[in-house]
Structure 1
Amino acid sequence: MKKSNKITTSTGCPVNHYEDTQTVGERGPVLLQDFFLQEKLAQFNRERIPERIVHAKGTGAYGKFTVTHDISKFSRANIFSKIGKETKLFVRFSTVGGEKGSADTERDPRGFAVKFYTEEGNWDIVGNNTPVFFIKDAKKFPDFIHTQKKNPKSNCKDATAVWDYWSLNPESLHQVLILMSDRGTPDGYRHMNGYGSHAFSFINDENERFYVKFHYKTKQGNKTFTDTEATELKGIDPDYAQRDLVKAIENKNFPKWAFKIQIMTLEEAKSFEWNPFDLTKIWPHSDFPLLDVGEIELNEIPDNYFQDVEQSAFSPSNLVDGIGFSPDKMLQGRIFAYPDAQRYRIGANYNALPVNKCPYATTNYHRDGAMRFDGNGGSSQNHFPNSFDGNYIDEKHKSSSYDLESSEVAYFDRNLNDDDHYSQPKGLFEEVMTEEQQQHTISNIVGAMSGIEGEKRQEIINRQLCHWFRVSAKLGSGVAKGLQVNIDGFL
């Protein structure tokens, strides 16, 4: 038997919190001093050259965002300044787990990233076609993605690793249930919704802060494939979603989405029944209804796929005045990880590439680095402050201050109600899904879990079945029956 060794950093320092990020209070922001979080994410970002580690298979298009409703009482962001205002944008769709040459009808979440070219800078929303995610702390992300990639020995997809990880992390249940439903195989990109997923914040002209979630509702109607249909398409046309988007736009059948938001006040966040910044949970629409904002339209396919789609670089750190962060642990980790990945993948000057470049004037003192092709600041000063150029800090764009819940610094692995990983999946399965959707989901889970192999097979299956039964007796029984497992011990 292999000897067990304590986990350390790359320099040998023992790691005493492998999955929980150090924060200010249970719900506070992440601290930069958590050096192992940085090491783990930075190492993860450098595991592949030069393909994206996640979201490698994708497509993209240019378009516009049009404001249809006034939300200025929530945000002073210039993009929302008046009804009818149009802003150019670029959207990249993708599958998450597959390589660049994989099929885009795989059972997988879909990336839905939007870059708005606003007069105050580029604003990115880097989300998915699901409102939740598998994990709630960025420190877990490298391990989670390792299970979705290929086995280090066989170099094949490994259902055993996938279900071993999910069964050991019940916080993943909500997203796994969505993935195993027919929503896990959408009919291309045009017929699916999109979400910013994380909570962000809005700041208005009075410096009042609100928490916000972003939603894009397809105007083409939601359409999905059954597992059989999606599997057949993988062989017939592995680029189905790419081809569908290109053809639609070339035929001037421009796809559109209604852009909506949910708003939560700071006081509501403090008293909410669970952590509102938990990425594995939604904000119920009954409590926080969707508010109309505008419309997204895609109307132009790039002339060169590599130049614009492959070299497009998104990051949730790209914000504009009137829009801010939240204490969401996954979001806080992505603020570092995304720009770091882009600098590694396409270089320090990736924001000077046409698809990433702000089309309006930018002023800074960044200089040099690989592939600097934009004049490099010419003969201007490269330090601030200086006595020559008159550049200044615009005080009006300072973000408003707000109180954190605690000044206690610790690795908080559990918050109040954070162990309830079952209520929202239960509501999704028993109240939202139709009988047909329930049966498809059960069938898809059985098919996916049938791939579990090895000496731990039954242990992993039984552990995951316990989670399914806690979600719904009907779900657990259906999966157990499909896997030919005696359910007496689960009831």
Structure 2
Amino acid sequence: MVRNTMHLLDDRIEEMDVKYKKVLGNLAANLAATTLKVNARYFHRIGAGGKGTLRLYADIPEFPTHKLFYPGKSYQITLRHSNCLSSDDDARLDPRGAAIRILSDESDATTPVLDLTLKTGKAFHARSIGEFATWLVCGSAAREEHVKHFPHIREAMWDSLRQADSYTELHYYSNITRIFRFEDGQEMYVKFKLRPFDKKFPEDSGKVEPRGILPPETGAIPRDENDKRPLLFLEKDFQRRVNSPDRVRYILQLQMRSVPGDESARETALDCTKPWDDQEFPYIDIGEIVINQVLTKEESEALEFNPFLRCHEVDVIRAKSCSQSASMDHGRSIVYSICQHLRNKKPLPESWKIFLDQSDVKLDLSGCPMAGVLKEKTVKKVTLARPWYHVEEGGFIGSRTVAMPGVTVENEASLAALSLAMKGEIIR
């Protein structure tokens, strides 16, 4: 076969095996269809943003010399807090997010060098993209049966939900492992954490006690009937705190461990459904974040965060198979890229068009640089406070009808997007 040299390749896709491409292609196409429908973020749609600085501590004990996280360095940063699902009521029980963009310390301080996406809860509910896709298409009965055998999955899902009084009082975790490359050539596995500067807010701030086997599938548990706070109070609270004399302050932390030499041990270390033991791998305080400027609603909504915005010194761990633990981070970086291009009406690279065209979800990618769904529909109102999807009996792919208020997509074209709503971290 002769490769068309006019197509710029994406090496993230090229290194996948056939099954991985198929699984991820369907996920990406499902979310692409929904992104075009709603013309907005599907997850983490509303929130609050701010600007500030990350100042790394001058003395970080037992921390090898690192080009980016060098003791004493300071960076300009952008931070955005958000709700995973709820766009109509901040009092709903929901996973909460914190996305951080670190900007270059060179003369052009607007150039991003690293994006970190974090959420409440120490773990994610699926180890790999393959397990994630299986979870999406099975019903609630199958999920409940699954967590009976793997109770840590149930714990991860409930632990992600938070009853929030303020975004600034919660702890946020990366769940996903990255690889750190130090200047002495040493490589380490690393996870990030963001905690409030004030230690009076413990890790379990806002924690929700389980009320059943699994949370409701949309995660949109209604507020307590005695809760009289305004519907969207978290943004106002964040703005008030940023503009106060004390500003908003956090501590950036790391967990580190050596890269195992054995493949099985590496898979265990990269398993995002199981937190690392913080006694064996303690959190290291590496710097302080101060947010001193509020972003307008428009500025906050325009922010983009992409896990594949990384650098050699803080890199994404690659995967070749959808069953590998690393496929969760590696795969979601492609989903982020495609959906953000569509949401911002940027032309899709040819390699991404081909990738989407090979999926089971048919999108019209001809004659339009952004791509469009074959069957146009007008969406008058989209809300995330909605019942779960209804699925007709049929085959695994291409024979289901998914319904939600204002949107109906024939075949599989919103199934993953609607299912993903309960997960929160796959796309932002």
- The two structures have a TM-score, normalised by structure 2, of 0.63
User: Counterpart of 1:41?
Assistant: 27
Which AA in structure 2 matches 1:310? E
User: Counterpart of 2:75?
Assistant: 87
2:171 to 193, 196, 215: 193
1:241 to 234, 249, 253: 234
Query: C-alpha separation between the residues in 2 aligned to 1:212 and 1:321?
Result: 14
SS at match of 2:48: strand
2:101 to 108, 115, 121: 115
Distance change in 2, residues 1:208/1:249 (3 Å): same
Alpha-carbon offset, residue 349 of structure 1? 7.8
* Structure with more contact order per residue of length (Cα contacts < 8 Å, sep ≥ 6): 2
Q: Contact (CA 8 Å) 1:166, 1:172: kept in 2 or not? A: no
1:295 to 280, 288, 297: 288
SS at match of 1:116: strand
Distance change in 2, residues 1:144/1:210 (3 Å): same
After superposition, residues 223-372 of structure 1 pair within 5 angstroms as 223-224=205-206, 230-232=223-225, 236-267=229-260, 272=265, 275-302=268-295, 304-306=296-298, 308-327=299-318, 328-348=326-346
Distance change in 2, residues 1:97/1:139 (3 Å): farther
Alpha-carbon offset, residue 201 of structure 1? 0.7
Which AA in structure 2 matches 1:275? T
After superposition, residues 149-228 of structure 1 pair within 5 angstroms as 165-168=143-146, 173-174=151-152, 176-177=154-155, 180=158, 184-220=162-198, 221-222=201-202, 223-224=205-206
1:56 to 33, 45, 50: 45
Query: C-alpha separation between the residues in 1 aligned to 2:343 and 2:309?
Result: 18
Alpha-carbon offset, residue 32 of structure 1? 7.5
Query: C-alpha separation between the residues in 2 aligned to 1:197 and 1:169?
Result: 19
SS at match of 1:314: coil
After superposition, give the CA deviation of every residue in 1:207-237 in whole Å (9 maximum; x if it has no partner).
Answer: 2211111111212324427789952477631
Distance change in 2, residues 1:204/1:341 (3 Å): same
Q: Contact (CA 8 Å) 1:211, 1:326: kept in 2 or not? A: no
After superposition, residues 430-441 of structure 1 pair within 5 angstroms as none
Distance change in 2, residues 1:163/1:246 (3 Å): farther
SS at match of 2:168: coil
User: Percent identity among equivalent residues?
Assistant: 18
Query: C-alpha separation between the residues in 1 aligned to 2:100 and 2:160?
Result: 24
Query: C-alpha separation between the residues in 1 aligned to 2:312 and 2:270?
Result: 21
Query: C-alpha separation between the residues in 2 aligned to 1:124 and 1:171?
Result: 35
Q: Contact (CA 8 Å) 2:94, 2:160: kept in 1 or not? A: no
**Structure 2 alignment gaps of length 5 or more:** 1-11, 107-111, 210-220, 319-325, 349-368, 371-387, 389-428
Query: C-alpha separation between the residues in 1 aligned to 2:28 and 2:101?
Result: 24
Alpha-carbon offset, residue 173 of structure 1? 4.2
Q: Contact (CA 8 Å) 1:212, 1:263: kept in 2 or not? A: yes
Alpha-carbon offset, residue 166 of structure 1? 4.7
Q: Contact (CA 8 Å) 2:242, 2:292: kept in 1 or not? A: yes
Query: C-alpha separation between the residues in 2 aligned to 1:275 and 1:103?
Result: 38
Query: C-alpha separation between the residues in 2 aligned to 1:97 and 1:146?
Result: 19
Which AA in structure 2 matches 1:96? C
1:96 aligns with 2:84: yes
Which AA in structure 2 matches 1:212? V
Work out the number of aligned pairs and report it. Answer: 310
SS at match of 1:310: helix
Query: C-alpha separation between the residues in 2 aligned to 1:165 and 1:314?
Result: 30
Higher helix share: 1
Query: C-alpha separation between the residues in 2 aligned to 1:325 and 1:232?
Result: 44
After superposition, residues 372-411 of structure 1 pair within 5 angstroms as none
Which AA in structure 1 matches 2:250? W
Distance change in 2, residues 1:196/1:229 (3 Å): same
After superposition, give the CA deviation of every residue in 1:236-295 in whole Å (9 maximum; x if it has no partner).
Answer: 312121121111112233121111111111237757497111110111011111112111
Q: Contact (CA 8 Å) 1:124, 1:314: kept in 2 or not? A: yes
Query: C-alpha separation between the residues in 2 aligned to 1:225 and 1:135?
Result: 20
Higher gyration radius (CA)? 1
Alpha-carbon offset, residue 171 of structure 1? 8.2
Consecutive aligned runs of 4 or more in structure 1 exceeding 6 Å deviation:
225-229
User: Counterpart of 1:105?
Assistant: 91
Higher strand share: 2
**Structure 1 alignment gaps of length 5 or more:** 1-21, 24-28, 148-160, 351-368, 371-450, 452-491
Query: C-alpha separation between the residues in 2 aligned to 1:268 and 1:195?
Result: 26
Query: C-alpha separation between the residues in 2 aligned to 1:171 and 1:341?
Result: 34
After superposition, give the CA deviation of every residue in 1:47-100 in whole Å (9 maximum; x if it has no partner).
Answer: 13212121112221111111013479546333x2232x22111111111123xx
Distance change in 2, residues 1:285/1:249 (3 Å): same
Which AA in structure 2 matches 1:41? L
- The two structures have a TM-score, normalised by structure 1, of 0.55
